[in-house]
């Protein structure tokens, strides 16, 4: 009944109502913004915003050539220029109010041209800009200048360099393309950069659990090293939180791998979905069990500086490892088939598994998808054994025993699953 009533409303009337309504809402927020900041000079009230929105809507609708709309924009711009001249006489040089009025003028055309979700998003952004001034200023003050340059580098390597690379095999013994190599660099760097930003700007003082969560998104091995070193100064009463952090880092590794594999090969990712979800689920249950048991250990905050993940040398090293593993994989699969690939995956698990797995999915090797699935499971499983070794060697106490034992257990079930089902 309600949907029939909605469909019965003429589109022009609906667009006009949305223009008036959204202009009114933004006008109310703009008025609150001026009162909260004690601004004495402003060009109008909530009614002014509604009139500007209606003016833009009517002029845009009346003339298909849009000349009237352009003329209205020029007239509004001239009036706002006079307002800005008056404002600058009081040593206030901000263009914020002027630009905001021009954006209100665009609500009418946006209502007519764009889908409803975009209009809502546009209004939400305007309201957030008005209401979250303090938060925006705080974030911009905290943002280091080098982060802007880093973001520019990431945009260059992803938006400029990547489209220029040919999607053709590098060499007969290197069955991966230039495009896929650089795409792998971008995806892994993107995950690492996201983790770095969250670590740096939202969790500067991190508990062990946060270290496991966010560090695992970047590198579960690196997170394990950090947790192991921190655990060295703890006693066995902190074992539950230390082990939980170790397991959480590994959970994040599996989630990250699954997301990356979906980008490169959906068929392999679908076959990995069941075993990875089982591992994630039982590991999450283990963490839940550890954390729900009463624990009186003090909360430890880790404040080690996070290494920046978007250094050019890091990207080049990853690309070289990617091509090296692709070359070795081509040799192994050509001479020893899927069995050789399985043994290679176990060995590679004791190094950096990301370039190996991505080169495996990006190349055209003479092995079946099931062999690729087995290699991914074995590499991630043996990497868990490496992390268990790191944890024990660095902590040198009983606080990591359960976590290390769990990682070793994941290695064993990875071996068993691979040789029995995959």
pLDDT at 392 over 60: yes
Pairwise CA distance, residues 357 & 263, whole Å: 12
Q: What is the pLDDT of residues 409-418, one digit of tens each?
A: 999 999 998 8
The pLDDT value recorded for residue 378 is: 92
Taking the C-alpha atoms of residue 328 and residue 323, their distance in angstroms, rounded to an integer, is 9
pLDDT at residue 303 in the model? 44
Instruction: Tell me the pTM.
Output: 0.64
Q: Are 239 and 401 in contact (CB under 8 A)?
A: yes
What confidence tens digit (pLDDT) does each residue in 337-349 have?
Answer: 888 888 888 888 8
d(CA 155, CA 317): 19
Q: How far apart are CA 168 and CA 177, in angstroms?
A: 5
Provide the greatest CA pair distance for the chain.
81
Tens of pLDDT, residue by residue over 89-100, are 777 666 777 888
Query: Residue 206's closest CA among 227, 228, 192?
Result: 227
pLDDT digits (tens, 9 = 90+) for 301-310: 544 445 555 5
Tokens linked to 410: 């994941």
Among 143-152, 261-270, 293-302, the minimum mean pLDDT is found in 293-302
């Amino acid at each position: 009944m309600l949907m029939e009533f909605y469909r019965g409303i003429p589109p022009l009337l609906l667009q006009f109502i949305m223009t008036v309504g959204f202009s009114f809402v933004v006008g109310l927020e703009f008025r609150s913004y001026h009162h909260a900041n004690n601004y004495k000079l402003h060009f109008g009230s909530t009614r002014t915003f509604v009139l500007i929105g209606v003016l833009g809507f009517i002029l845009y609708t009346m003339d298909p050539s849009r000349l009237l709309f352009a003329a209205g924009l020029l007239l509004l711009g001239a009036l706002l220029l006079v307002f800005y001249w008056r404002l600058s006489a009081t040593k206030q040089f901000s263009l914020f109010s002027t630009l905001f009025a021009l954006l209100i003028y665009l609500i009418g055309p946006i209502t007519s041209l764009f889908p409803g979700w975009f209009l809502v998003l546009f209004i939400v952004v305007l309201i957030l800009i008005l209401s979250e001034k303090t938060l925006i200023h705080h974030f911009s003050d905290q943002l280091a200048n080098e982060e802007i340059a880093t973001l520019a580098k990431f945009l260059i390597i992803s938006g400029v360099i990547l489209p220029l690379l040919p999607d053709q095999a590098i060499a007969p013994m290197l069955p991966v393309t230039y495009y896929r190599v650089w795409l792998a660099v971008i995806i892994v760097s993107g995950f690492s950069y996201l983790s770095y930003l969250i670590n740096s700007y939202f969790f500067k003082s991190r508990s062990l659990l946060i270290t496991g969560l966010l560090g695992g998104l970047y590198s579960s091995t690196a997170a394990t090293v950090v947790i192991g070193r921190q655990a060295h100064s703890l006693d066995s009463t902190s074992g539950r939180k230390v082990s939980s952090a170790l397991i959480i880092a590994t959970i994040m590794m599996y989630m990250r791998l699954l997301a990356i594999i979906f980008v490169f090969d959906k068929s392999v990712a679908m076959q990995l979905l069941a075993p990875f979800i089982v591992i994630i689920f039982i590991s999450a249950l283990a963490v839940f069990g550890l954390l729900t048991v009463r624990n009186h250990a003090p909360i430890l905050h880790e404040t080690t500086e996070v290494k920046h993940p978007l250094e050019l040398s890091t990207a080049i090293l990853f690309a070289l490892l990617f091509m090296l593993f692709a070359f070795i994989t081509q040799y192994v699969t050509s001479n020893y088939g899927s069995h050789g690939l399985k043994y290679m995956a176990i060995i590679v698990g004791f190094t950096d598994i990301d370039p190996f797995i991505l080169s495996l999915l990006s190349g055209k090797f003479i092995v079946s998808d099931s062999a690729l699935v087995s290699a991914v499971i074995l590499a991630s499983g043996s990497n868990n054994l490496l992390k268990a070794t790191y944890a024990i060697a660095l902590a040198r106490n009983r606080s990591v025993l359960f976590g290390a034992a769990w990682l070793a257990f994941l290695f064993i079930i990875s071996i068993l699953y691979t040789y029995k089902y995959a």
